[in-house]
Structure 1
Amino acid sequence: MTFKPLRKAVFPVGGLGTRFLPATKALPKEMLPIVDRPLIQYAVDEAIEAGIEQMIFVTGRGKSAIEDHFDIAYELETTMAQRGKSLDLLHQTRLKPGAVAYVRQQEPMGLGHAVWCARDIVGDEPFAVLLADDFMVGGAGRPGCLKQMVDAYNRTGGNLICAQEVPDDQTHMYGIITPGARDGALTEVKGLVEKPAAGTAPSNLSVIGRYILQPEVMRVLEGQEKGAGGEIQLTDAMARMIGDQPFHGVTFAGRRFDCGDKAGFIQANLALALGRDDIGPAVRDFARAALANEA
């Protein structure tokens, strides 16, 4: 069975990044670097690996640095060329003309509202949603998170969400799946609950920041009322679609770092730095010495 191909991805990047103030007063949180690349670059590269052709950024005030990052930097490139330096790293940040679109979310009303703001560009096609501060690193020899989900989508169609097991005492922090039949990494989704009260979660399978959704979710979001936190929740809209279309969770084979959290952000930097040939040995030596001094 074939399904309409996935060509578009939505990146909700309009958030204020208050947990990283004062750094995010002038710098979008999506531009915070993991070693030497901003978070949003990793997410875009993940989408490209999965075959996405058009990137749709839902931005807000103060986010122009994201647009600049994926544009041509004439002055920088000219200066580097004159000095005989390679432009490969800069060329990797360019998005082809027509492969990128920007739309404003004029007020912070939640993830569901941010996705809905992209409705006219998404049109009647399935689309992915990637949250850049959920930093996903594929396991050894495995593709990135969205590619794993696209492979599953080509088998099941419908809607898919990235799933990850979390400790029982953390289920109140996430959207949680009510699971049905399981087939390896694929779990049928019978229901979704956004941030259930402690002790009431239907499972410990949490919803992580990667989604493949059918365009009908936009019509659901059109009339979606505010939910948890006084915001329009994407989880609530997805829950209303269960039973009308296929819905599955894909357990990601890899590592996830919550880079919306300061500790998770530092952990991601350390993990990637240790894996680098150029800086890994120096970082490892420093970490060993620092830990020895703490002992």
Structure 2
Amino acid sequence: MAKRVTKAIFPVAGMGTRFLPATKSVPKEIMTLVDRPLIQYAIDEARAAGIKEFIFVTSRGKSALEDYFDRAPELEHTLRKKGKTELLEILKSTNMESGGIAYIRQNQALGLGHAVWCARRLVMNEPFAVILPDDVIAAEKPCLQQMMEAYEETGGSMVAAMEVPHERTSSYGILDCKDDMGSLVSVKGMVEKPDPDDAPSNLAVIGRYILSPQVMRNLNKVEEGAGGEIQLTDAIAKEIASERGVYGFRFRGQRFDCGSKVGFLQATVAFGLARDDLRDELQGYLDELSASRSAAQ
């Protein structure tokens, strides 16, 4: 049986330049999707999967992210005094237990692999998860929880995967598949951002990983890869020939790329329509908007 995974790394050191000027003073990870910041969706997904220790790899200008997970005694007192118990419970759900969260600085922007490597002393010799908050996945059962259930059977290392248009393979790490077993795919190769003409498939790696401790050791030896950065894909690929193996997992759910403006807007609409308290009014507005655009044409 695979060793239980209780630690997760959240690489949040990026500057969020695609969302300037908002990210001049607000970390991208606490930009709100409806009424919750992106990072809260990632934390909730990790909790549902059994994660107990949360490791954030940050950089300068991320103090607001750290404050978000701290208690707000004055606000709690005000809500309690006004009898707003429902809001108080929502607020409490954002608090993290003392000792359950850690922050590590990445002082050079050397890629995702380097960001993960920065947390090596906190992971030690244990399997660990990696969650990229930019990838928000709407699913009945959270994506990482789905992966954990499959990982209990396979062990090794596992990456979330989804089909992408072939012409967009140059934007992703792409899997070269050995055996396709439906939800699970055994991997014989991984290529970071290949030219569409050279891509071995259109099965792309999405921002959820369950990794063996050997992957962290591999990062000690990985040299600069695509884009002059230390690629996590390269460290995972070194595990393919091992007994542990590497698997792709086709998750059930819809992924939104909230690292892009269009993806963020799409997610806002989708999550808004999924809310009972917002659906009717939002759908009415969208219907009116569609009708007025059709009339204008």
Q: Which TM bucket (shorter chain)?
A: over 0.9
Partner of 2:68: 69
Per-residue deviation at 1:224? 1.4
User: Structure 1 vs Structure 2: percent identity of aligned residues?
Assistant: 54
Residue matched to 1:36: 35
Structure 1 range deviating more: 80-89 or 182-191: 80-89
Aligned to 1:89: 90
**1:216-295 → structure 2 map (5 Å cutoff):** 216-244=214-242, 245-295=244-294
Please report how far the alpha carbon of residue 69 of structure 1 lies from its aligned counterpart in structure 2 after TM superposition: 1.0
d(CA) in 1 for partners of 2:172, 2:288? 36
Q: CA deviation at 1:228?
A: 1.3
Residues 92-111 of structure 1 mapped to structure 2, 5 A cutoff: 92-111=93-112
Give the partner amino acid of 2:231: Q
> C-alpha separation between the residues in 1 aligned to 2:113 and 2:292?
46
- Structure 2: distance between partners of 1:38 and 1:164: 24
Q: Give the Cα–Cα distance (whole angstroms) in 2 for the partners of residues 112 and 48 of structure 1.
A: 23
- Cα distance between partner residues in 2 of 1:180 and 1:101: 38
Q: Does the CA contact (< 8 Å) of 2:69 and 2:96 recur in 1? A: yes
Residue matched to 1:50 = 49
On the 8 A contact 2:112/2:230 being kept in 1, the answer is: yes
Q: TM-score, normalised by structure 2?
A: 0.96
Distance 1:247 1:230 in 2: 24
1:122 counterpart residue number: 123
Deviation for aligned residue 1:184: 2.1
Which 10-residue stretch deviates more, 123-132 or 283-292?
283-292
1:187-226 mapped onto 2 (5 Å cutoff) = 187-226=185-224
Counterpart residue identity of residue 103, structure 2: Y
SS at match of 1:176: strand
Deviations 1:160-201 (A, max 9, x none): 000000011111110000001122200001110000012110
Distance in structure 2 (CA, Å) of the matches to 1:97 and 1:181:
44
Structure 2 residue runs of 5 or longer lacking an equivalent are: none
What's the CA shift for 1:226?
1.2
Number of aligned positions between the proteins: 291
Alpha-carbon distance between aligned partners in 1 of 2:216 and 2:5, rounded to the nearest angstrom: 16
What displacement does 1:202 show? 0.2
Structure 2 distance, partners of 1:75, 1:220, is: 46
Distance 1:75 1:222 in 2: 45
SS in 2 for 1:206: strand
SS at 2:144 equivalent: helix
Amino acid at match of 1:155: E
CA distance in 2, matches of 1:281, 1:23: 29
Counterpart secondary structure, 1:6: coil
How far the C-alpha of 1:212 sits from its partner, in A, is: 0.4
- Taking structure 1 as the reference length, the TM-score comes to 0.97
Following superposition, the deviation at residue 132 of structure 1 comes to 0.2
Q: Per the alignment, in what secondary structure is the counterpart of residue 238 of structure 2?
A: helix
1:80 deviates by: 1.5
In 2, Cα distance between equivalents of 1:246 and 1:214: 10
Shift of 1:97: 1.6
Question: Could you tell me how far apart the structure 2 residues matched to 1:231 and 1:76 are?
Answer: 42
1:219 Cα deviation (Å)?
A: 1.6
How far is 1:143 from its partner?
A: 1.0
Q: Which deviates further from its counterpart, 237-246 or 248-257?
A: 237-246
Distance 1:157 1:241 in 2: 12
What is the match of residue 151 of structure 2? 153
Conservation of the 8 A alpha-carbon contact between 2:177 and 2:186: yes
**Residues 236 and 246 in structure 2, CA contact (< 8 A), matched pair in contact too:** no
**What is the aligned partner in structure 2 of residue 79 from structure 1?**
78
Which runs of at least 4 in structure 1 moved beyond 2 Å after TM superposition? none
Q: Which amino acid is the alignment partner of residue 84 of structure 1? A: G
CA RMSD of aligned residues (A): 0.9
Distance 2:151 2:56 in 1: 23
Deviation at residue 223 of structure 1 after TM alignment: 2.1
- Partner residue, 1:177: 175
